[in-house]
Amino acid sequence: MAREEMAQVPAQDVARDASYAPTGRTVLTRARERAAYDHETVHAILDAGYLCHLGYVRDGAPVVLPTLYARAGDRLYLHGSTGSRPMRRAGETGETGHGADPGLPVCVTVTHVDGLVLAKSAFHHSINYRSVVVHGIAHQVIDEDEKTAALDALVDHVLPGRAADSRPGNAKELAATAVIRLDLREVSAKIRTGGPHDEPEDLELPYWSGVVPVAPAYGAPIPSDDLAPGTALPPYLTTR
């Protein structure tokens, strides 16, 4: 499975317009044909999900936590409570900053698995996927209007239209929620599609080869026990 693995990989020529400029951290060192930096590709991958894996450094060691996110233009918003560690750290006051927020260095990764790729040789097994890796400095969102808009975006990112169809947060709830923002500047996408790449001498082997597609499937909505009688299923749930 070596050639097909999912580690970080190489640059390619991309249009200056509407692309994220590759950096030392986002230039892929291998499988360069799988890299993409254009906004359209990157944003589509980000918008197709709502769960990211947020990485940060704590006491010199890495920490990776599953976290909800939403994209708004060239910015990501990540959700957390005011008590959680990365949220507190993203809002810490710098020693020399006189109240300024130095931010928290993070890496945010979003991955969608699209298929299992079965080759005739064990070595060429792979998976099809789309992933985006974002490096940057996260900051706590303090401004109340931005925070309210970000929380709406987080709800709507999972289910478009839902934010307007629920009771908005009150001042107490807003204070109890932390949101961090991360500008999309140092960003790369990586995509694998298609079937297996077997060695020519393996093609006559009697093993099945091909792709098993995979995608998230949403089941029939299960109403709460305490749902008020007569409450209709909203349109955004009948189409998901």
**Residues in 104-163 at the binding interface with its own copies, rule: CB under 8 A:** 105-109, 111, 113, 116, 118-123, 125, 127, 129, 131, 133, 135, 151-152, 154-155, 158-159, 162-163
C-beta separation of 206 from 121 below 8 A: no
3-state secondary structure of 103: coil
Minimum CB distance to its own copies smaller for 43 or for 152: 152
CA–CA dist 179, 55 (Å, integer) = 16
Considering only residues 192 through 221, tell me which ones interact with its own copies, judged by CB under 8 A.
Answer: 195-196, 198, 202-221
Closer by beta carbon to its own copies, 24 or else 99: 24
C-beta of 18 vs 194, nearer to its own copies = 194
Minimum distance from residue 220 beta carbon to its own copies (Å): 8
**Total chain residues near its own copies (CB under 8 A):** 110
Residues 34-63 that bind its own copies (CB under 8 A): 50-51, 53-58, 60-63
3-state SS assignment for residue 189: strand
Binding of its own copies by 98 (CB under 8 A)? no
CB–CB of 78/52 below 8 Å? yes
CB of 123 to its own copies, least distance (A): 4
Secondary structure of 23-87 in HEC code, one letter for each residue: CCCCCCCCCHHHEECEHHHHHHHHHCCCEEEEEEEECCEEEEEEEEEEEECCEEEEEEECCCHHH
Q: Closer CB to its own copies, residue 48 or residue 64? A: 64
Give the residue among 185, 179, 183, 187 at the shortest CA–CA distance from 153. 179
Considering only residues 10 through 39, tell me which ones interact with its own copies, judged by CB under 8 A: 25, 29-30
Distance CA 96, CA 105 (A): 17
Compare residues 62 and 99 and give the one whose CB is closer to its own copies: 62
Closest C-alpha among 44, 40, 79, 74 to residue 184: 74
Q: Which of residues 166-185 bind its own copies (CB under 8 A)?
A: 166-169, 173, 176-178
